[in-house]
Amino acid sequence: METKKNRTEKRKGNLMSVRDDIKVLDATIRDGGLCNNFMFTDEFVQELYKTNIKSGVDYMEFGYKASRNLFKEEEFGKWKFCKEEDIRAIVGDNISDMKIAVMADVGRCDFKTDFLPKSESVIDMVRVACYIHQIPAAIEMIEYFHELGYETSCNIMAISQANLNQVEEALEMIAASSVDVIYLVDSYGSLYPENAAALANTYLAAAEKTGKKVGFHAHNNQNLAFANTIETLSYGVSYLDATAQGMGRGAGNCAMELLLGFLKNPKYSLYSLLTFIEKYMIPLKQEGVVWGYDLQYMFTGQLNRHPREAMSFTADNRSDYCEFYKSLLENF
Amino acid sequence: METKKNRTEKRKGNLMSVRDDIKVLDATIRDGGLCNNFMFTDEFVQELYKTNIKSGVDYMEFGYKASRNLFKEEEFGKWKFCKEEDIRAIVGDNISDMKIAVMADVGRCDFKTDFLPKSESVIDMVRVACYIHQIPAAIEMIEYFHELGYETSCNIMAISQANLNQVEEALEMIAASSVDVIYLVDSYGSLYPENAAALANTYLAAAEKTGKKVGFHAHNNQNLAFANTIETLSYGVSYLDATAQGMGRGAGNCAMELLLGFLKNPKYSLYSLLTFIEKYMIPLKQEGVVWGYDLQYMFTGQLNRHPREAMSFTADNRSDYCEFYKSLLENF
């Protein structure tokens, strides 16, 4: 049997080869929606949908299935809730090879009432997001969605703050469930390629035992989102999250244009994405929607902390980086 | 004897350990000078000098020793020429542990007339920059500077376009010279961590045979400058170039603040640098000095090309990324 140590040393494929197991997931509307309260125009979402199909993207995540009991519909754009009819208004019956994903947060989703059976839904995959102490609740949801006929993933957030025993135990539990993909999520953007790779190998060792795939979702707090994505993929991670221009909460995510430029499979095309970026993403930034690497996110990434204070710093248009850094050190 | 293959697998130290062989070099004035024609105020350079000392930086590069026959003095700031008296006006006799470096380009430097013997100069290290076909000329300069009493490095630029045979032959020649440090320079920002590491291991294998050190100078065209720097260092590269906020030609360099936040040696301090960034770097950006990752540099990085067209695109304030990308593909 392959030991975990052996796995770490072994890369799958190389910089010239095509990895047919790779699946690229566009999370622009979902993670990017955290930057503008999901207030995208229908045209934006429609064009991104078409762009993703042309670019060879494998999954497009439309947003959250958030509880309408917990969150008021009038305070958010529709992609916070991803009603079946709203997705269908964009994709019709989605007569493409690209699959449709939505995210369901443990504890913030009325999953027993808000999902149709897969046979009646245009959604293909439900991504269940949880913290490591919520694994049992996540598994309950995963089994429910699996029963309904959906593909599922389990996205364990904030993994850089969990200890290795917890991680291994969680992975064993999830790997024994009906889940299809287990995601390593660097919520705080605090992983370096070396420890992202080590964690990915731990995930892969657990996942491969029961035939599960492993995914990676990066954050760019230390400007490492793309680097960590291609490092973990080199060891066998196959589900890769990215967003147009890295749009996502705080420092944002792995930029889709960097990822598509890197992947060698000719099915992925950069040019379609560029036309979308030029026409839709750059105006979005000019309108004042803010995301991306900046010093305040570097601080929280280096300190392995939730970016909430950095997000407030950004929202308040502050530029007193030194004072902010000192306040972080004082509240450590 | 250790084979090259074995080296590749072996990291030196880990994410928790201190590597006493590490030397951090601040190249803000030299590479950053390419963004503003070296027009820094004396106050800026003076404060950066003090900041680098406080931050534990090991070398500060002041600029080029460019030929005053080739370049008109009145068209550039003084750090294009780095006259002894100009450096001394900032550093006095440099009564600090930090060393002073300047860069001398093969073919663009009157090295036989423009350098004092080390005993009369406040400069400690001369970095000889060359393309791979200029190695014999670089070695002539290195031996000359060595005779004068300086530390020397050989910075072979644009290495991503050289073939491996050339690289190995060049390394053998340089390793046999009096040089102290051999630099791997990713001029086009086209290396991924995986091939940066492979090249670094090739450099290390050649350098270690004759007791030379290896350095790395990154460019951020694919947002990988920091990632490539810490990846190559993990295999034994010990001279690390960085600049405040990554200031440097085109997409810029490895950001010093990311590097200082990563290094575990307590001699390196992030806070002093932050005060400099807040007071001097952010105003510089606001004044309109432009550098840093953007799509046009990603294109040239992905295509392994000189960034000159991307720099023109930036200088012309263009935002027609798609047209620009197509023009690059047409002129491939």
3-state secondary structure A22-36: CEEEECHHHHHHHHH
Asked if B193 has any chain A CB less than 8 Å from its own CB, the reply is: yes
**Interface residue B221 vs chain A (CB under 8 A):** no
pLDDT of the residue at A9: 52
Residues A46 and A90: their CA atoms lie apart, in Å, by: 6
| Contacts for A57 with CB less than 8 Å, ≥ 6 apart | A24, A25, A26, A98, A256, A268
Mean pLDDT confidence for B246-256: 98
Residue A170 has pLDDT above 90, yes or no: yes
- Flag whether pLDDT at A249 surpasses 50: yes
Q: Are B259 and A224 in contact (CB under 8 A)?
A: no
The residue type found at A6 is N
Distance from CA of A332 to the nearest CA of B (A): 16
- The interface predicted TM-score of the complex, written ipTM, equals 0.95
pLDDT score for A331: 80
Mean per-residue pLDDT for A268-276?
97
- Residue A1, pLDDT score: 36
β-partners of residue A61 are: A101
Q: What number of H helices and E strands is found in chain A? A: 15, 8
- Round to whole Å and give the CA distance between A239 and A22: 6
pLDDT at residue B6, as a whole number = 45
Mutate to test the interface with A, among B190, B192, B272, B328 (most CBs of A within 10 A): B192
Phi-psi region of B181 (alpha: psi -120 to 50; beta: other; left: phi over 0): beta
Q: Is A298 in CB contact (< 8 Å) with chain B?
A: yes
Query: Which chain B residues are closer than 8 Å to A275 by Cβ?
Result: 322
- Res A88 pLDDT > 50: yes
Q: How confident is the model at residue B226 (pLDDT cuts 50, 70, 90)?
A: very high
The 3 state secondary structure assigned to B53-116 is HHHCCCEEEEEECCCCCCCCHHHCCHHHCCCHHHHHHHHCCCCCCCEEEEEEECCCCCHHHHCC
**Res. A103 pLDDT band, cuts 50 70 90:** very high
Which residue would you say has higher pLDDT here, B163 or B141?
B141
Q: Which residues lie closer than 8 Å to B1 by C-beta, 6 or more apart? A: none
pLDDT number for residue A10: 85
Q: What integer pLDDT is reported at residue B8 of this predicted model?
A: 46
For chains A and B, count residue pairs whose Cβ atoms are closer than 8 Å.
94
pLDDT for the residue numbered A5 = 47
Pairing relation of β-strands A99-105 and B99-105? unpaired
Number of helices followed by number of strands (H, E) in chain B: 15, 8
pLDDT in tens, A199-248: 999 999 999 999 999 999 999 999 999 999 999 999 999 999 999 999 99
Crossing angle (nearest 10°) for helices A164-175 and A193-209? 30
Q: Does residue A8 surpass a pLDDT of 60?
A: no
Structure token pair of residue A69: 């009991």
Per the CB < 8 Å rule, is B194 touching A224? no
Residue from B291, B298, B292, B296 nearest B323 by CA: B296
* DSSP 8-state class, residue B213: E
Q: Which two tokens stand for residue B305?
A: 């090309």
Cβ–Cβ gap A298/B258 under 8 Å: yes
| Higher-confidence position of B162 and A2 | B162
What distance in Å separates the CA atoms of residue A237 and residue A184, rounded to the nearest whole number? 9
Indicate whether B106 pLDDT > 60. yes
Here the contacts of A313-322 (C-beta below 8 Å, separation 24 or greater) are A314/A250, A314/A290, A319/B278, A319/B282, A320/B278, A321/A295, A321/A296, A321/B274, A321/B277, A321/B278, A322/B271, A322/B274, A322/B275, A322/B278
| CA B78/CA B69 separation, integer angstroms | 15
**What pLDDT does B2 receive?**
41
Tokens of A183: 């995601």
DSSP state for residue B204 in the 8-state scheme: H
Tokens linked to A304: 């392995």
Q: What is the mean pLDDT of chain B?
A: 95
Q: Which two structure tokens, joined as six digits, stand for A87?
A: 């997705």
Residue A125 has pLDDT above 80, yes or no: yes
Residue (of A199, A189, A257) closest to A223 by Cα position: A189
The CA-based dihedral angle spanning residues A158, A234, B204, B21, taken in that order and rounded to the nearest 10 degrees: 0
Judged against a pLDDT cut of 70, whether residue B3 lies above it is answered with no
* pLDDT score at B5: 47
B319-332: pLDDT as tens digits: 999 999 999 999 87
pLDDT for residue A279: 97
The mean per-residue pLDDT over the stretch B305-332 comes to: 94
Name the strand (E) or helix (H) holding B130.
Answer: strand B125-130
> Using CA atoms, how far apart are residues A239 and A248, in angstroms rounded to an integer?
18
The residues in B 235-294 lying below 8 A from A, measured between CB atoms, are: 255, 257-258, 261-262, 270-271, 274-275, 277-278, 282
pLDDT single digits (tens) B171-214: 999 999 999 999 999 999 999 999 999 999 999 999 999 999 99
Does A275 sit within 8 Å of B295, measured CB to CB? no
Residue B127: helix, strand or coil by DSSP? strand
Q: How confident is the model at residue A136 (pLDDT cuts 50, 70, 90)?
A: very high
Over A199-210, what HEC string results? HHHHHHHHHHHC
Q: Is B9 touching A (CB cutoff 8 A)?
A: yes
Whole-angstrom Cα Rg for chain B: 19
Average pLDDT of the segment spanning B92-100: 98
> DSSP string of A11-69?
-SS-TT---TT-EEEE-HHHHHHHHHTT---HHHHHHHHHHHHHHT-SEEEEEE---TT
**In 10 A of CB B151, how many CB atoms?**
18
Q: Answer yes or no: are the C-beta atoms of B223 and B293 closer than 8 Å.
A: yes
**Gyration radius (Cα) of chain A, Å:** 19
Between chains, do A278 and B322 touch, taking CB under 8 Å as contact? yes
